[in-house]
Chains A and B, each alone.
Chain A
Amino acid sequence: MNKTIIIPGLIIAGAIAFFVSPFASKSPDGLERVIGSADKREFTPVEKLAGVGLTFGIAFGAGFLLGKRKK
């Protein structure tokens, strides 16, 4: 399970964050268009990659804690 899910899943998520996200549209999204706010800092691919790792770690940790059955 770990090999077939974690490694390919993280590679895909990391590749999206590192290689694809710099090409994302810079136009304001639907909400930003309505409220007139599009003032966001642009993060580097490395920072985004770290975010992917952090999100994985927190969700994995939550899953680990919640996945254990009460004895």
Chain B
Amino acid sequence: MHIPDGFLDAKTWIGLSVVSGGAIMVAAMRTRKEGDEKRIPLMGVMAAFIFAAQMINFPVAGGTSGHFVGGVLAALLLGPFTGVLIMSTVLIVQCLVFQDGGVTALGANIFNMGIVGSLGGYFIYKLLDALLQRPRWMSKRNIIMIFSSAWVATVIASIFCAAELACSNTVPFRIAFPAMAGVHALIGIGEGLITIGVVSFIYRVRPDLFQVEKI
């Protein structure tokens, strides 16, 4: 889902760069305000893990592949604002060092995968949490919530991506929307399963690390 250079027009990439820059500043201030020193090593490890996991493209239908995004995972483990910072770090390294995603499209990629992926996914999780009356951690209903929030965040991020391409007159929305949402509905299944796998593993070994109940 990393948009390369040349596919977004100036108004779109400048606008999204401003929005993402502002969101990163807010996320940094919130992370600083919370000031939990326990998070320091976790931020590094989570960013390194998401960076590595995003390299593993898995095949989906029709000769298309997809990869883990990790926004919901970071948000559940470290909180949504720290999640935005982690995703931004991953996307900046991918862009500047590995040419994965364009420099001009960095703001859009941070918006789609960092802000929608992490903050949006966390919001969906908390909404489901309220609707399902706060089920116990790692109960069946909680696992469904984690899967659903990861899946919905992936699909919504892909719809934003399609809208950005359409706003830039790169691909008409009537083509970009079904293509992106359709493929990412499948990729989202992988996202949900990987998120559940990692969350349940960490919960088994270090249940104290989860921030989700505290925010």
Cα–Cα, bound, A61→B22 (Å): 20
Question: Does A46 count as interface, using CB distance less than 8 angstroms?
Answer: no
> Smallest Cβ distance from A71 to chain B, in angstroms?
11
How many angstroms from the CA of A5 to the CA of B205 in the assembled complex? 10
**Pairwise interchain contact A31-B1, C-beta atoms closer than 8 A:** yes
Instruction: Report whether A13 and B45 are in contact in the complex, using a CB–CB cutoff of 8 Å.
Output: yes
The 0/1 profile, CB within 8 Å of A marked 1, for residues 145-184 of chain B is 0000000000000100110010000110001100110011
Query: Residues of A contacting B161 with CB < 8 Å?
Result: 31
Instruction: Tell me if B52 and A35 are in contact (CB < 8 A).
Output: no
How far, in angstroms, from A1 to B43 measured CA to CA in the complex?
13
Choose the segment among B11-19, B53-61, B122-130 that binds chain A (4+ C-beta atoms closer than 8 Å). Answer: B53-61
Q: Are B98 and A51 in contact (CB under 8 A)?
A: yes
Closest beta carbon of chain B to A34's beta carbon, Å: 5
In the assembled complex, B138 has its CB within 8 A of some CB on chain A: no
Q: A34-B176, A59-B48 are in contact. Are A1 and B41 (CB under 8 A)?
A: yes
B65 contacts which of A6, A17, A28 (Cβ < 8 Å)? A28
Report Cα–Cα, A69/B114, bound state, in Å.
25
Q: With A27-B65, A66-B28, A69-B35 as known contacts, state yes or no: A12 contacts B49, CB within 8 Å.
A: yes
Q: What is the interface of chain B mostly: helix, strand, loop, or mixed?
A: helix
User: Using an 8 Å CB-CB cutoff, how does the interface string of A7-50 with B read, 1 for contact, 0 for none?
Assistant: 00110111011001100111111110111010011010000100
Instruction: State how many residues of chain B have any CB contact under 8 Å with chain A.
Output: 64
- Of A5, A59, A69, the most chain B CB neighbours within 10 A belong to A59
Residue from B3, B35, B64 having most chain A Cβ neighbours under 10 A: B64
B99 interface neighbour in A40, A55, A57, A69, Cβ under 8 Å: A40
> Are B57 and A55 in contact, with the CB atoms below 8 A?
no
A10 touches B48 (CB 8 A): yes
Q: Which of A13, A53, A60 contacts B40 (CB 8 A)?
A: A60
A62 to chain B, nearest CB (A): 6
Q: Which of B44-77 contact A (CB under 8 A)?
A: 44-49, 51-53, 55-60, 63-67
Instruction: Name A residues whose Cβ lies closer than 8 Å to a Cβ of B.
Output: 1-2, 4-6, 9-10, 12-14, 16-17, 20-21, 24-31, 33-35, 37, 40-41, 43, 48, 51-60, 62-64, 66-70
* A–B complex contacts, Cβ < 8 Å, 12 sampled: A4-B206, A5-B41, A5-B209, A16-B53, A17-B55, A30-B183, A31-B158, A34-B162, A37-B4, A58-B93, A63-B39, A63-B82
